Structure 1
Amino acid sequence: MPQILIDHSPGLDFDATAFAKEVHQLIPEVINAGTADCKTVVRPAATHLVGDGSSGEAVVLVEIKILAGRSAEARGELSARVTDLLRSHVRVPAAFCVEITELDRETYVFVHHAGH
């Protein structure tokens, strides 16, 4: 179930796969979800801008979608720990955003499609 979306500045020297693997290991420590349930998509951006562009900062945006029902404390802890992981993986000045969003349990569907 956890869906992790990582958007980042083009050309950022950032091992997003290593970061994602650490996030996958971290999630079960904070919420009731297994590592095997985590799915991540990394999307390097074509361009980016922070403020008026004069800072030269990179951007890393992380959204983690989880099923509704976790406490605000658990969601906050997950955000804080993912932000700490970003600090250890990104070595250049950067603007980070980590957001934990909830998926509606009544309408969420996930399927392992075997193909044809």
Structure 2
Amino acid sequence: MPHLTVEYSSNLPLQAKELLLQINTSLVETRHFQEVDIKSRAIRFDDVVVGTAPAERAFLHAKLAILKGRSTEVKRELSERVLAVIQAAHVWPQGLDVQLCVEILEIDKETYAKAHLGN
């Protein structure tokens, strides 16, 4: 825990693995998570519609799933931190309307199961 999923439109020239590593590093710095527990992935979407206008638009939506029990302040800190890393990690294309979003999801501790195999 946590699980980070970054969804983004294919018209963003994103180096996804590099961005995931930068976000993971930032999350470790918060001291809310152990380094080995952060699991991140990125999903690129080719078929995307943002709104109804014919303008060229793009999006990146990050979902950070954490165990329940953290305060609103901590959740806000996490979402703002992830957003700041995303904003700083890339030179966003000129003339492209890009929406960046971060969502904090809570996982129920009582029903979450985990096994860690290996070292």
For the superposition of Structure 1 and Structure 2, which TM-score range results when normalised by the shorter chain? 0.7 to 0.9
Secondary structure, counterpart of 1:81 in structure 2: helix
Matches of 2:106 and 2:82, distance apart in 1: 16
**Given the superposition, is the C-alpha separation of residues 9 and 15 from structure 1 closer, same or farther in structure 2, using an over 3 Å criterion?**
same
- Give CA-to-partner distance per residue, 1:4-31, whole Å, 9 cap, x none: 0111111421111111111111113335
* Stretch moving more, 68-77 or 20-29: 20-29
**Given the superposition, is the C-alpha separation of residues 46 and 30 from structure 1 closer, same or farther in structure 2, using an over 3 Å criterion?**
same
Q: Percent identity?
A: 28
* Stretch moving more, 68-77 or 28-37: 28-37
Query: Match for residue 104 of structure 2?
Result: 100
- Within the alignment, does 1:86 sit opposite 2:86 as a pair? yes
TM-score (norm 2): 0.85
* Stretch moving more, 35-44 or 45-54: 45-54
**Given the superposition, is the C-alpha separation of residues 105 and 12 from structure 1 closer, same or farther in structure 2, using an over 3 Å criterion?**
same
* Stretches (4+) displaced over 4 A: none
Residues 83 and 102, structure 2, Cα contact 8 Å, conserved in 1 = yes
Gaps of 5+ in 1: none
**Given the superposition, is the C-alpha separation of residues 55 and 78 from structure 1 closer, same or farther in structure 2, using an over 3 Å criterion?**
farther
Query: Match for residue 7 of structure 2?
Result: 7
Q: How does 1:1-116 map to 2 (within 5 A)?
A: 1-30=1-30, 32-90=32-90, 91-92=92-93, 93-112=97-116
Look up the equivalent residue of 2:27 and give its one-letter code: I
Matches of 2:71 and 2:28, distance apart in 1: 15
C-alpha RMSD over aligned residues: 1.7
Alpha-carbon deviation of 1:113? 5.2
Look up the equivalent residue of 1:97 and give its one-letter code: C
Residues 27 and 78, structure 2, Cα contact 8 Å, conserved in 1 = yes
